[in-house]
A and B are shown apart, each in its own frame.
Chain A
Amino acid sequence: MIIKFNPTGTHVHKDRLKIRLDFYPDPTDKTYAQQYVDEVVWDEEKQETVPTGAKQLNPCLCHFLIIDTDITAQKLTDKIQELFPKDVVVAIDSALSDGNRQAFQALINPRCGSGKIVYGDPSNAINQVLSAVQVEV
């Protein structure tokens, strides 16, 4: 599975800085079949989506992590590897594929991160620092 930083989700909530990590399954992962879908575009004339003929891979999970503002690309990479080792990711993939909410919550709830109170909104700066973070687990 590949875990990528997604800048569109960076925000401050309840005075804590959160970033979004998107989990993309490998072809051997259970959620791959659910997330490898037909690519569509909106047709203004038809007022509906139409397939392009291509396929796209969607993330099986988009997880928000609380971090500190002094985060670096290396620190985030290390944190991802610490929180989401292979065995945990396999279990998350299985729980998502099976629709097992209880198992999923038990795995994900201890992995939401922590950080100091943030003043202002450092989202733009954080997005620039973390834009290239991508970890294969």
Chain B
Amino acid sequence: MAIDIGSAAIDRASSSGAGYTRVDQNNPANATGTLDTIEIWANADMAGLDVATFLVVSGDNLSTRDTELIGNVTAGSKQTFSGLSIDVTTGDYLGSTWTSGNLELTFSGVGAWYIVGDYVPCTNQAFSTIADRTYSMYGTGTEAGGGWANIGKVNGVASAAIAKVNGVAVAGIAKVNGVAV
């Protein structure tokens, strides 16, 4: 199953500035596995973007599960960052911090946790909450042990249990019999 977390990276009506760590309360992760792609829409060129998956320890205390540096993000269009490997567990939330620039924001939706400063990573950190916030920050990935997204079996063997097909390691396979994995 494909994992998704966070909110669509689209052009929104408002923006959110640097100097905070923000965690989107919309759309927690629907499965456990690894995020390999992050999408961002910056309102003004962003620098030093660090993204993370966050878990709720208790109440509004959060810890980062995994983090990865993105770097600069140019403004004005959806930016896609692939080749990532961010651990995520069902129920985790997507958050980030950056050093300058603005992230697209809508004043609606569930809301966010936030704290002044760079708290990527953090452990059992108390965050403040604010309602009606949705950020243009979205992640997708693959469920752990899920095999291929589009192919369930090859020659009767579940894709999650396959190491090679015709001598080729699964990491190097894009299609099987013309079907994208």
- A and B interact: yes
A residues near B (Cβ < 8 Å) are: 6-11, 13-14, 18, 20, 34-35, 37-42, 48-49, 56, 58-66, 96, 101-113
Known: A6-B72, A20-B71, A96-B80. A105 touches B85 (CB 8 A): no
Whether B68 lies near A110 (C-beta < 8 A) is no
- A61 and B73 CA atoms in complex are apart in Å by 11
B residues near A (Cβ < 8 Å) are: 2, 15, 36-37, 43-44, 47-48, 68-72, 74-85, 101-102, 140, 142, 149-150, 171-175, 180-181
- A10 and B102 CA atoms in complex are apart in Å by 22
Whether B85 lies near A14 (C-beta < 8 A) is yes
Most chain A CB within 10 A, of B37, B47, B102, is at B37
- A109 and B77 CA atoms in complex are apart in Å by 23
User: Contacts of A112 on B, CB cut-off 8 Å?
Assistant: 83
User: Contacts of B101 on A, CB cut-off 8 Å?
Assistant: 42
User: Contacts of B81 on A, CB cut-off 8 Å?
Assistant: 20, 62-64
Whether B150 lies near A102 (C-beta < 8 A) is yes
| A135, chain B: closest CB distance, angstroms | 16
Whether A105 lies near B74 (C-beta < 8 A) is no
User: Contacts of A8 on B, CB cut-off 8 Å?
Assistant: 47-48, 71-72
Known: A8-B72, A56-B74, A110-B171. A49 touches B102 (CB 8 A): yes
Whether B82 lies near A108 (C-beta < 8 A) is yes
Whether A58 lies near B79 (C-beta < 8 A) is yes
10 A-B residue contacts at CB 8 Å?
Answer: A8-B47, A8-B72, A11-B69, A39-B76, A40-B76, A42-B44, A49-B75, A105-B37, A105-B140, A113-B83
Whether B82 lies near A63 (C-beta < 8 A) is yes
User: Contacts of A39 on B, CB cut-off 8 Å?
Assistant: 76
Whether A18 lies near B83 (C-beta < 8 A) is yes
- A14 and B102 CA atoms in complex are apart in Å by 28
Most chain A CB within 10 A, of B77, B83, B172, is at B83
- Identify the closest chain B residue to A95 (Cβ): B180
Whether A103 lies near B80 (C-beta < 8 A) is no
User: Contacts of B83 on A, CB cut-off 8 Å?
Assistant: 18, 63-66, 108, 111-113
User: Out of A9, A66, A105, which one reaches B69, CB within 8 Å?
Assistant: A9
User: Contacts of B181 on A, CB cut-off 8 Å?
Assistant: 106
| A2, chain B: closest CB distance, angstroms | 15
| A105, chain B: closest CB distance, angstroms | 7
Known: A64-B84, A101-B140, A102-B180. A56 touches B36 (CB 8 A): no
Known: A62-B82, A106-B174. A34 touches B77 (CB 8 A): yes
User: Contacts of B175 on A, CB cut-off 8 Å?
Assistant: 106
- A39 and B36 CA atoms in complex are apart in Å by 29
User: Contacts of B76 on A, CB cut-off 8 Å?
Assistant: 37-40, 56, 58
